[in-house]
Amino acid sequence: MTCKSIGLMRILVVEDDPLLAAGLARVLGRCGHAVDRAASGIQADNLLRNTLYELVVLDIGLPDIDGFEVLRRLRLRRARTNVLVLTARDAVEDRVHGLDLGADDYLTKPFAIAEFEARVRALLRRTSAPAGPLEFRGLTIDIEVKRVKVHDVAVDLTVREWALLELFLARPGRVLSKEQIAQQLVNYDDALSLNTIEVYVSRLRSKIETEGVKIRTVRGFGYLWEAESV
């Protein structure tokens, strides 16, 4: 998959065919995306209630509740998560039903991996950090070439500091909790304590905060990106 300019995202693959689910997760993981998997509708619904995802790759034919019901519940919660529906059903009425429920795109099985990758890229661009260069008071950020300057002086960021910065840039004006940040920076196979999140935020602040850029602590809720554009 072409990863340039998209940024690293958290993605849920909902598919009860273990071979297909593993293959899709492998394709998405090539870009370093954090990929979780669910094999049933109930499992997917539980994950979506408790985890912030940029994209859900959602099969319709699932055990217990089907993908349409998962999608219906997701949109009832007013979640704006991008949803790419995968299904063996090619009837027009099924596609219309999925789109009416709030699906963002629809791919019929079998499909070419290249087309799947293209659909995913298109959806992820909607929620990725804006392409650079971005100009704020005292701070310049170029996402594509991974370059940050504070008052025209280059600043080096680690991989996770970059991921944290992109997370804030993709959600301006939105308070992010420590739990949400932890979910975005790692897979479930990894572990990242909330104290560690505080350390990453503190390090990023020390490197990029200027008179026009602040990562404000909203006590009891999380962190808020505040920046004045120029």
CATH number of the domain residue 199 falls in: 1.10.10.10
Give the per-residue pLDDT at 34: 83
Question: What is the model's pLDDT at position 157?
Answer: 93
Among 112, 127, 142, where does a domain finish? Answer: 127
Q: 196: alpha, beta or left, given left = phi > 0 and alpha = psi -120 to 50?
A: alpha
The closest alpha carbon to 51, from 10, 104, 21, belongs to 10
More confident residue, 41 or 127: 41
- Which residues does residue 223 pair with via DSSP β-bridges, in sequence order? 176, 217
Whether the pTM exceeds 0.75: the reply is no
Q: What is the pLDDT of residues 57-68, one digit of tens each?
A: 999 999 899 999
Task: Mean pLDDT check: name the lowest of 70-74, 143-147, 172-176, 182-186.
Answer: 182-186
What phi and psi values does residue 215 have, to the nearest 5 degrees? -110, 100
Same domain, 90 and 188: no
Based on the fold, state whether residues 138 and 111 are members of the same structural domain: no
Q: How confident is the model at residue 129 (pLDDT cuts 50, 70, 90)?
A: low
* Statement to judge: residues 151 and 71 lie in one domain: no
Interhelix angle 178-185/159-170, nearest 10 degrees:
120
In a shared domain, residues 25 and 55:
yes
What is the predicted pLDDT for the residue at 128? Answer: 62
Residue 143 maps to a domain: yes
pLDDT in tens, 170-212: 777 788 888 888 877 765 445 678 888 999 999 999 999 998 9
CATH of the domain at 21: 3.40.50.2300
CA distance linking residue 48 with residue 68, whole number of Å: 14
Q: Residue 207: what pLDDT?
A: 96
Letter string b/e over residues 79-102, b meaning 16 or more CB atoms within 10 A of that residue's CB: eebbbbbbbeeeeeebbebbeebb
In percent, the amount of the chain with pLDDT more than 70 equals 91
Please write the tens of the pLDDT for every residue from 87-125.
887 777 888 888 899 999 999 998 999 999 999 988 887
pLDDT exceeds 60 at position 19 = yes
Query: Residue 101 has what pLDDT?
Result: 92
More confident residue, 230 or 132: 230
Of 7-16, 135-144, 179-188, the range with the lowest mean pLDDT is: 179-188
Q: What is the pLDDT of residue 105?
A: 92
Residue at which a domain ends, from 127, 158, 183: 127
Give the pLDDT mean for 71-83: 90
Whether residue 72 lies inside any domain: the answer is yes
Question: How high is the mean pLDDT of the chain?
Answer: 86
Question: Residues 89, 58: one domain?
Answer: yes
User: Domain tally for the chain?
Assistant: 2
